[in-house]
């Protein structure tokens, strides 16, 4: 039978990823709380940086950009999951599903590239501290940020004929939508896997090389400088670990032939989305001196 004859007209998708969940309300509440805290913390960081002209510097512009990416990333799928678990709304329109898929994968790619650019920022700041503000100006950071956003927006999904309206996963991502089509998904999965592999490892290797350059410089530094450098790198290192670990765990399990259940795969995916978006703003709020002092002053004024 041809694809045209086998395909059906899709106006809505049914999300069935939570059908076997024993405690949907509890999981929904956890996701809701995590999503609320992630959006609130990231919005607070953005407002702190925008409202204080002293924070209009390259590093803080990159932190602000990371907060925007985190809000977009978690907002691409969390409301859908919360709606399914707490409100029982398990349908999503065709157009909304495709938009969700695009925004979700844009957020995934942007997270990697933003962390890579932040690694470059730290490398220049540590190795060339006196020339830092001449190398990385606010204008150059904004232009670089715009280029990264512009390039990543070209990752598109070609519409294919659909043979099913039921999505096996918890929201609309590439794998979920592709499995509803009438085509053999292996070819598309292989192509996307190659692109994802290149993006993931290119950005990770770039970050590692940046850290290697910093470590070589640290060996020549005094003990006081080593402590200061270590303190500035901890925040970025935590964000890198939280973002890349779930992805590498999934890749490692796949290569070792470890068969994960659908629930385990979805758990890893949800953790990979909510983890970085929740951890990143708190890491930079608590470990960045200027933002931490601003928060302290706000709460001190309220108490007084």
Assign residue 233 the CATH number of its domain. 1.20.1070.10
Domain count for the chain: 1
Name the strands in the sheet holding 12-15, side by side, starting at the edge strand that comes first in the sequence: 91-93, 12-15, 166-167
Across 219-237, average pLDDT: 72
State the Cα torsion 8-92-249-25 to the nearest 10°.
Answer: -130
Across 116-122, average pLDDT: 90
Please state, for a pLDDT cut of 90, what percent of the chain lies above it.
23
In a domain, 183, yes or no: yes
According to the per-residue pLDDT averaged within each range, which of 209-213, 231-235, 265-269 is highest?
209-213
* Residue 137, pLDDT above cutoff 50: yes
Looking at residue 301, its pLDDT comes to: 59
In a domain, 3, yes or no: no
According to the per-residue pLDDT averaged within each range, which of 150-154, 169-173, 215-219 is highest?
169-173
In a domain, 27, yes or no: yes
In a domain, 295, yes or no: yes
| Residue written as token pair 């940086």 | 49
In a domain, 6, yes or no: no
| Beta-bridge partner residues of 14 | 91, 166
Looking at residue 295, its pLDDT comes to: 65
In a domain, 2, yes or no: no
| Residue written as token pair 């969390």 | 78
Between 232 and 89, name the one with better pLDDT. 89
Across 84-102, average pLDDT: 90
According to the per-residue pLDDT averaged within each range, which of 86-90, 191-195, 224-228, 253-257 is highest?
86-90
Find the domain containing 107 and state its range. 12-299
């Amino acid at each position: 039978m041809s694809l045209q004859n086998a395909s059906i007209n899709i106006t809505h998708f049914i999300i069935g990823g939570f059908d076997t969940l024993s405690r949907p309300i509890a999981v929904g509440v956890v996701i809701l709380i995590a999503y609320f805290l992630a959006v609130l913390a990231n919005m607070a960081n953005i407002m702190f940086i925008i409202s204080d002209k002293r924070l209009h510097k390259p590093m803080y512009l990159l932190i602000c950009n990371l907060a925007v990416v985190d809000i977009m990333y978690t907002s691409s799928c969390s409301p859908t999951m919360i709606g399914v678990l707490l409100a029982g709304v398990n349908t999503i329109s065709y157009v909304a599903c495709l938009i969700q898929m695009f925004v979700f994968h844009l957020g995934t790619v942007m997270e990697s590239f933003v962390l890579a650019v932040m690694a470059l920022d730290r490398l220049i700041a540590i190795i060339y501290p006196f020339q830092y503000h001449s190398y990385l100006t606010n204008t150059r950071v904004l232009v670089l940020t715009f280029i990264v956003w512009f390039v990543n927006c070209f990752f598109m999904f070609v519409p294919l004929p659909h043979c099913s309206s039921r999505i096996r996963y918890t929201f609309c991502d590439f794998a979920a939508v592709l499995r509803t089509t009438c085509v053999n998904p292996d070819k598309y999965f292989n192509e996307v896997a190659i692109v994802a592999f290149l993006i993931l490892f290119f950005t990770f290797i770039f970050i590692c090389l940046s850290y290697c350059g910093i470590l070589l410089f640290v060996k020549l530094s005094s003990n006081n400088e080593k402590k200061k450098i270590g303190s500035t790198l901890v925040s970025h290192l935590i964000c890198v670990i939280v973002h890349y670990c779930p992805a590498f765990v999934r890749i490692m399990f796949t290569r070792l032939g470890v068969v994960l259940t659908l629930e385990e795969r979805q758990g890893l995916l949800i953790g990979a989305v909510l983890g970085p978006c929740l951890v990143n703003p708190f890491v930079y709020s608590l470990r960045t001196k200027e933002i931490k002092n601003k928060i302290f002053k706000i709460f001190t004024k309220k108490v007084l």
